[in-house]
Amino acid sequence: MFKEEVSNRTNTNLAEKKVKEFVVENFKTAKLFEKYGIDYCCNGNRSLKDSLSGKSIEMNTFIPELEKILGENKNDDQVFSAMDLITLSQYIVNNHHKYVKEAIPLIEAHLDKVVNAHSKNHPELISIRQEFSILSAEMLTHMDKEEKILFPLIKYLVDSKKYNETPKSSGYGTVQNPIRKMEQEHQSAGNEMEKIRNYSDDYKLPEDACTTYTVTYKELEEFEKDLFKHIHLENNILFPKAIELENELLNLK
Ligand SMILES: [Fe+2]
């Protein structure tokens, strides 16, 4: 009986916790949220309970899987949190940005093929293709801004600390301005990704799906996973640390 009470209390605590907090504390939980199509980035401020009820997922099914991951020792996020800001920015560029730049032309070519062959029976493919065009164009500009504006600005802050200097105001004002803009763009990309997920009925393949159709849906799901990781690493780790660093440096005045 006592054991049951403790378990119920633990479940209540978990249910009330924000989805993004799980991911910040343990990046491995991201996989589980992805498995159930729960957005832990743009809509990460929702409680676990609300996120599950929105998806009609049973708490009794979800919690044991979550607890299993929470019990595992290795925590990748600790590795990312321990990285200095320049290394983390480079990691994002070398892994996530590189992946997006390579994946976009491939997915677009596959989508074109699938639209040509199957859109008569599956008109939602046309909407997916259109949405992916919007998303990919936005992502390319977004990453360019991060690489040319925000990440150099973060590097400048790190260097200022290293040389014990107060950073001069850039043309963008405080680092919070470009960060706010990047967060808005993450939100927009997350919304577009969600539309694609909805059009595809959670990437459910129709019975007449050919190999390219199957591959394209898998690629889109992979693209979503990578996007969520990119957003998580920036919104939840890189950006708050950059703001904290700038505040620390400006207080030296
Ligand atoms: Fe980003």
135 Cα–ligand 1 center, Å: 13
- Worst-scoring range by mean pLDDT, 39-48, 104-113, 136-145? 39-48
Q: CA neighbours within 13 Å on the CB side: how many for 183?
A: 16
Residue 2 is predicted with a pLDDT of 41
Share above pLDDT 90 across residues of the chain, in percent, rounded to a whole number: 59
Q: What number is the average pLDDT over the span 129-151?
A: 98
- Worst-scoring range by mean pLDDT, 17-31, 44-58, 125-139? 17-31
Whether the predicted pLDDT of 154 surpasses 70: yes
66 Cα–ligand 1 center, Å: 27
119 Cα–ligand 1 center, Å: 32
74 Cα–ligand 1 center, Å: 26
pLDDT tens for residues 53-108? 878 888 888 888 888 887 764 567 778 888 999 999 999 999 999 999 999 999 99
Whether the predicted pLDDT of 165 surpasses 90: no
Q: Please report, for the chain, the start and end positions of each structural domain, with discontinuous segments joined by +.
A: 2-75, 83-250
83-250 has which CATH code? 1.20.140
211 Cα–ligand 1 center, Å: 32
92 Cα–ligand 1 center, Å: 9
Indicate the length of the chain as a whole number.
253
Residue 70 is predicted with a pLDDT of 79
Residue 44 is predicted with a pLDDT of 82
Whether the predicted pLDDT of 6 surpasses 70: no
139 vs 42 pLDDT, higher one: 139
Task: Please state the separation of Cα 212 from the chain's center in Å.
Answer: 26
Local confidence band at 1 (pLDDT 50, 70, 90 cut-offs) = very low
- What sign does the CA torsion over 145, 91, 203, 64 have? negative
Spatial separation of the C-alpha atoms in residues 38 and 44, rounded to whole Å:
9
DSSP 18: B
143 Cα–ligand 1 center, Å: 6
Asked: is 2-75 a CATH 1.10.3910 domain? The reply is yes
64 Cα–ligand 1 center, Å: 32
Residue 185 is predicted with a pLDDT of 97
Whether the predicted pLDDT of 32 surpasses 60: yes
221 Cα–ligand 1 center, Å: 18
Alpha helices in the chain (DSSP H): 2-16, 19-25, 29-35, 48-55, 59-71, 76-82, 85-91, 98-118, 124-145, 151-162, 176-199, 211-232, 239-250
- Worst-scoring range by mean pLDDT, 32-41, 145-154, 189-198, 222-231? 32-41
Residue 77 is predicted with a pLDDT of 73
90 Cα–ligand 1 center, Å: 12
Residue 60 is predicted with a pLDDT of 82
184 Cα–ligand 1 center, Å: 10
pLDDT tens for residues 196-207? 999 999 999 999
186 Cα–ligand 1 center, Å: 6
CB of 92 within 8 A of CB of 49? no
